[in-house]
């Protein structure tokens, strides 16, 4: 079940050939909007497309290849920046799997009410959250749960 849309998520098996042609690298990056150091950056090595998602404020970037020349070189890329009003992290209590994403202003209150009910019923773990980003102050506040904190830069020294 997808928390954000409420739709059933269908899963399918991938063929060996698909598995061989799929390759991606993921790492943490710093969110350009709120400074969260554990935002996700994923690069698809086959298509050379990439995306960034901040689970704290919902900021995302998405670079898609629009067309390719016959020799395989990229002709045009489209870079999309998305500035949602907030974010959510729904952690399923039975599996521990987390789903994260951005929310528009019209979706925030509905998502928060649904998350409160799902946490109370035991469907979602209490570590789930919904946040709102304030464009004026740059602050992220929690409507449900705890806001992920922005950690300090690593100075390279062990404690």
Identify whether the C-beta of residue 65 lies closer than 8 Å to the C-beta of residue 59.
Answer: no
Per-residue pLDDT tens, the chain, 159 aa: give them. Answer: 455 555 444 444 444 444 445 688 899 999 999 999 999 999 988 778 889 999 999 999 998 877 666 676 766 778 888 899 999 999 999 999 999 999 999 999 999 999 999 999 999 999 999 999 999 999 999 999 998 887 666 555 443
- Model-level pTM? 0.74
Position 76 scores a pLDDT of 75
Determine contact, residues 96/112, Cβ cutoff 8 Å: no
pLDDT at 77: 77
Burial annotation 37-68 (CB, 10 A radius, 16+ → b, else e) = bebbeebbeebebbbbbbbbbbbbbebeeeee
DSSP code of residue 24: E
Tell me how far apart the alpha carbons of residues 49 and 154 are, in angstroms, rounded to a whole number.
Answer: 29
């Amino acid at each position: 079940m997808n928390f954000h849309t409420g739709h059933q998520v269908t899963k399918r098996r991938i063929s060996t050939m698909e598995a061989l042609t799929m390759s991606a690298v993921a790492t943490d990056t710093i969110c350009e909007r709120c400074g969260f150091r554990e935002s996700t950056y994923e690069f698809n090595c086959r298509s050379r497309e990439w995306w960034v998602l901040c689970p704290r404020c919902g900021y995302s970037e998405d670079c898609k290849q629009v067309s390719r020349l016959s020799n395989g070189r990229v002709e045009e890329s489209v870079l999309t920046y998305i500035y949602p009003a907030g974010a959510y992290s729904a952690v399923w209590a039975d599996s521990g799997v987390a789903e994260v994403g951005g929310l528009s202003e019209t979706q925030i209150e509905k998502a928060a009410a649904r998350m409160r009910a799902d946490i109370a019923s035991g469907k979602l773990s209490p570590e789930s959250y919904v946040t709102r980003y304030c464009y004026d102050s740059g602050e992220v506040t929690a409507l449900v749960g705890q806001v992920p904190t922005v950690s300090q830069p690593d100075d390279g020294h062990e404690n």
